């Protein structure tokens, strides 16, 4: 039984030196594909070198809205180069965030630049959104991102009508350890109602998950909710990931 973690930060401030340990413990739990989103450009080289060292590890470099102020021509050029790397399977995590400091117009400009790059290179996107659902969705619709390249709405926490809207636009829903919380009633309803073909697994390690194996707990919970076997959840969510991230191939392991 094999799983794919579509959103795991193996390289991040405060968890230095953990990456290799986590890759090993993920493998021991059957998690044999790990996609690391980027957050800021200073970390991209570390993401890439980890992906080059471990067959199970892939990278999705990008600029998180928190670091939108860092975007400039040099950063854009470097990201453009990285899109051609064999283990770069997506651009992420990109989006809009109402809580962080960079101005909304800067965030939007950096998001649009990265979406255009993803379109140019046929790469899917890992989306981050906090309290900007309407604005982000409008941009994704305008650029027809879902149908052209697809993407994951990471750490989904909205209601069922919004989840259905995303699925209609050909986005996948990233489901993680929030599902394990006692008060996850809304997410539980979303997971119960959506087709499993729309669901991808993620831990967002190091927070909220603290260990890669928590992915398997999330998969078990989905299996209970949808009355499926764990094996089916593992197989179908992995197939979903391979369909979306088409640069991950059997031969590219």
Nearest distance, CB of residue 232 and Zn ion, angstroms: 27
Considering only residues 105-164, where is the footprint of Zn ion by CB under 5 A?
none
The answer to whether 71 and 42 are in contact (CB under 8 A) is no
Nearest distance, CB of residue 128 and Zn ion, angstroms: 7
Nearest distance, CB of residue 102 and Zn ion, angstroms: 17
Q: Which residue, 35 or 226, is less far from Zn ion as judged by CB?
A: 35
3-class DSSP string for the chain? CCEEECCCCCCCCCCCCCHHHHHHHHHHCCEEEEEEECCCHHHHHHHHHHHHHCCCEEEECCCCHHHHHHCCHHHHHHHHHHCCCCCECCEEEEEEECCCCCCHHHHHHHHHHHHHHHHHHCCCEEEEEECCHHHHHHHHHHCCHHHHCCEEECCCCCCHHHHHHHHHCCEEEEECHHHHCCCCHHHHHHHHHCCHHHEEECCCCCCCCCCCCHHHHHHHHHHHHHCCCHHHHHHHHHHHHHHHCCCCCHHHC
Q: Which residue, 100 or 225, is less far from Zn ion as judged by CB?
A: 100
Place of tokens 């230095």: 16
Pattern 176-205, binding to Zn ion, x per CB under 5 A?
Answer: ----------------------------x-
- The residue count for binding Zn ion (CB under 5 A) is 1
Q: Which residue, 204 or 214, is less far from Zn ion as judged by CB?
A: 204
Nearest distance, CB of residue 126 and Zn ion, angstroms: 8
Nearest distance, CB of residue 73 and Zn ion, angstroms: 26
Q: Which residue, 73 or 99, is less far from Zn ion as judged by CB?
A: 99
Q: Which residue, 37 or 150, is less far from Zn ion as judged by CB?
A: 37
Residue nearest to Zn ion (CB): 204
Nearest distance, CB of residue 19 and Zn ion, angstroms: 15
Nearest distance, CB of residue 235 and Zn ion, angstroms: 25
Q: Which residue, 1 or 158, is less far from Zn ion as judged by CB?
A: 158
Exposed, middle or buried by CB within 10 Å (0-12, 13-18, 19+), for 120?
exposed
Q: Which residue, 64 or 221, is less far from Zn ion as judged by CB?
A: 64
Considering only residues 200-239, where is the footprint of Zn ion by CB under 5 A?
204
The CA distance from 142 to 167, in Å, is 16
Task: List contacts with Zn ion (CB under 5 A).
Answer: 204
């Amino acid at each position: 039984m094999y799983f794919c973690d579509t959103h795991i930060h193996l390289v991040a401030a405060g968890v230095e030196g953990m990456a290799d340990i986590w890759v090993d413990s993920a493998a021991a739990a059957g998690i044999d594909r790990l996609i690391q989103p980027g957050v800021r450009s200073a970390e991209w080289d570390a993401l890439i070198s980890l992906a080059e060292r471990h067959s199970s590890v892939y990278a999705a470099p990008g600029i998180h809205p928190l670091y939108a102020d860092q975007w400039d021509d040099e950063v854009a050029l470097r990201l453009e180069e990285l899109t051609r790397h064999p283990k770069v399977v997506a651009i992420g995590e990109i989006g809009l965030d109402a809580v962080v400091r960079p101005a909304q117009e800067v965030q939007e400009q950096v998001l649009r630049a990265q979406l255009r790059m993803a379109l140019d290179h046929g790469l899917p996107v890992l989306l981050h959104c906090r309290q900007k659902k309407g604005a982000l969705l409008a941009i994704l619709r305008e650029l027809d991102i879902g149908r052209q390249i697809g993407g994951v709405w990471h750490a989904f926490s909205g209601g069922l009508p919004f989840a259905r809207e995303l699925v209609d636009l050909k986005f996948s829903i990233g489901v993680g350890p929030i599902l394990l919380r006692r008060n996850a009633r809304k997410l539980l309803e979303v997971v119960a109602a959506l087709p499993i073909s729309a669901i991808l697994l993620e831990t967002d390690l190091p927070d909220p998950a603290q260990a890669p194996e928590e992915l398997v707990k999330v998969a078990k919970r989905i299996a209970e909710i949808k009355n499926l076997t764990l094996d089916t959840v593992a197989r179908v969510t992995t197939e979903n990931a391979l369909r979306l991230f088409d640069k991950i191939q059997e031969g590219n392991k």
